[in-house]
Chain A
Amino acid sequence: MIRLQNIEKVYRTDTIETLALNSISLDIAKGEFLSIMGPSGCGKSTLLNIMGLLDTPSKGDIKISDQKTDHLSDKQLAQFRNQKLGFIFQSYHLINDLQVLDNVELPLLYRNTTAKERKMLATEALEKVGLSNRIKHFPTQLSGGQRQRVAIARAIVGRPEIILADEPTGNLDSAMGNEIMDILINLNRNEGTTIVMVTHDENMAHKTHRLVRLFDGSQVQ
């Protein structure tokens, strides 16, 4: 599903050159639930951003769904992200001025869908995360766990093949973290969605199919 070959990422300033990722090669199969662990600053999020086409590698090749992405234009990349990928962030990234339903509908706005269709799909996604009774609420009226569930609903509303989750339980207590993890596991099992999750939590990581460890930008496991 995702193939990374010799991925290298170098951040350059006028005076310093920082190697964030060093020759990472990774194959992630369809339907796999993979977690990435490592200390802060080891390049986990950079790797996830490269997989999510939000960042470009300095070297190396990336293939998603058997498609090379290095030649795609900004518009094509945006379309690709919209169709194939779903994102979940540690800090939720919900738009506080929009109601829950409108937040979930957001990815569908960049597709050719009718308002009726959008509402139906968003409601369905919210039902899956158990928040169908909160559609008229604003994010500020929800708890952290509920906000993350809205973010999951937003990630799955477009039925993407891959979900990239950057520390989805990082801001939550263990009970809420487990709830979120259960939702992700169910998505992976029942819908066959490929999930790549960055986490600091060993327990969460052990619930996934495979664990990749990074250290100083290199893959150590």
Chain B
Amino acid sequence: MMFKHLFKLIWNKKKQNFLLMTEMLFSFLVLFAVFTLLVYYYDNYKKPMGFEYQNVWVISYNNAYQTKNADSLNNYYGILRKSIKAMPEVRELSFCSFNTPFSNNMSQGRVTYHKKEFYHMNFYTADDSYQATMNMQVLEGRWFNKTDVVAKDKPIVINSDTKEQLFGKGTAVGQLIVNGDDKDKMMRVIGVVQSIKVKGDYAPAGLGLYQRADTGSLRWFGKIMVQVVPGVSAAFEGRLYKTMANYMKDSNIEIEHLTNKRTSINYFTLIPMIVLSIVGGFLVINVALGLFGVLWYNINQRRGEIGLRRAVGASGNAVSSQLIYESMILATLSLIVGSFFAVQFPLLNVFDLSAGIYISAMLLAIIFIYLLVFVCSLYPGRQAAAIYPAVALHEE
């Protein structure tokens, strides 16, 4: 019964309450944006990395050996592979394209399956030992091997995100995908691997497709992934560098650890989140102070009314609760309007995020606003309860 009474009171004072409600509405929208980002990052963080990066190093080189003779090329890189592999600290190594994990490099294209186009497909090129080097989990089919040389259709391995997008719960192995929309460039799926979060812990893996490296690929490759045994010394890194430098005389060699690269790429992803959270935090403090001030001002404006309510039967607690309820009703009205705008994001699929992320963010923002309003109303509510009715009634 009190709810209807308070709603009437608020409705009849809608002009006075308009600014406060607008402030709550904007706070909700900013919080919704912050929480969307946080939920999105958390959602990505929860997903597995898809490979073991802890003991994997990336060797970058340039000015690679150039010859038109495929045998010479194979021989050149074969010797290099054997020299590195011969080191007892090296478990496995793989030559691959420049878009290695945590590197900010990417190679994207488009594929077509059943006349449906899929954009932002990451194309990776890697040799037969890439999966073992990265310790990637094969979910379906297999990774590349020498038998693929004679395959009729170009063999590819896709990641689990691609499988889900293109084939849903169906089988992916054996399916044909078109590279771009050129029907002569058919690619046959031979395996599915767990998606790798190449952009770090907080970014999605995205669609990915692995092509088998052929001899020609070695001409433009510039990366070697090396899996080492745990706890190798800096001296080994020096030896590895020397081996590379001696073999590739005119090349610039750089050795990086994936653990370090992961840390730095995570910083880059976290920066916008940190900036937005700081902005959101300041806004929340601003709103809290504003709310607190407005409610306190309201109480001083309504001392006569509070005194009257005490006279006609309201206890101190009832007065305090009434003010909290009023704030909560105001917040509810603002949140209804705010939710109307927020719900458009999943409905219109803005930013291509899943509806679950938006809904979770909306719920978190709603809970946060209610908590904020509740906390900000508590003290003014208690102040109102402490108003002495005899004094308040005598003031007007």
Contacts and interface: CB of A to CB of B under 8 A. Distances in A.
A98 B12 CA distance: 7
29 contacts: A52-B311, A54-B310, A54-B311, A54-B393, A55-B390, A74-B315, A75-B317, A79-B315, A82-B312, A83-B313, A87-B312, A91-B396, A93-B307, A95-B9, A95-B308, A97-B13, A98-B12, A102-B8, A106-B308, A107-B313, A109-B1, A109-B5, A110-B313, A110-B314, A110-B318, A118-B1, A138-B12, A158-B312, A158-B313
A45 B307 CA distance: 15
Give me the 3 closest cross-chain CB pairs, A-B, nearest first: A82-B313, A110-B313, A78-B315
Interface in B1-38: 1-2, 4-5, 8-9, 12-13
Interface string A174-201: 0000000000000000000000000000
B208 interface: no
Nearest to A94: B308
A81 interface: yes
A118 B4 CA distance: 13
Nearest to B316: A74
Interface string A41-61: 000011001001011000000
Interface string B288-318: 0000000000000000110111111111111
Contacts of A49: 390
Given A95-B9, A98-B8, A109 B2 contact: yes
A207 interface: no
Interface string A98-140: 1000100111011101110010000000000000000000100
B389 interface: yes
A105 B1 CA distance: 11
Given A89-B393, A93-B393, A78 B9 contact: no
A108 B229 CA distance: 80
A149 interface: no
Contacts of B68: none
Given A52-B311, A79-B315, 7 more contacts: A54-B390, A81-B313, A83-B313, A95-B9, A109-B5, A110-B313, A110-B318
The interface size bin for chain B is: 20 to 34
Best-buried of A55, A77, A81 by chain B (most CB within 10 Å): A81
Contacts of B12: 97-98, 138
A131 to B, nearest CB: 18
A115 B390 contact: no
B394 interface: yes
Chain B: interface secondary structure?
Answer: helix
B312 A106 contact: yes
B11 to A, nearest CB: 9
B312 A115 contact: no
Best-buried of B1, B4, B304 by chain A (most CB within 10 Å): B1
Contacts of A77: 315
B394 A110 contact: no
A147 interface: no
Nearest to A48: B390
Contacts of A111: 313
A79 B389 contact: no
A81 B312 contact: yes
A71 to B, nearest CB: 16
A93 to B, nearest CB: 5
Contacts of A83: 313
Contacts of B307: 93
A194 B305 CA distance: 25
Contact of A93 (B1, B308, B318, B388): B308
A107 B312 contact: yes
Contacts of B316: 74
A110 B317 contact: no
Interface string B102-146: 000000000000000000000000000000000000000000000
A63 B124 CA distance: 92
Contacts of A110: 312-314, 318
Contacts of B389: 54
A78 B390 contact: no
Best-buried of A55, A97, A98, A158 by chain B (most CB within 10 Å): A97
B9 to A, nearest CB: 6
A89 B310 CA distance: 14
Nearest to B14: A97
Best-buried of B307, B310, B314, B396 by chain A (most CB within 10 Å): B314
Interface string B352-396: 000000000000000000000000000000000000111001101
Interface string A21-39: 0000000000000000000
A186 B181 CA distance: 96
A25 to B, nearest CB: 21
A150 to B, nearest CB: 12
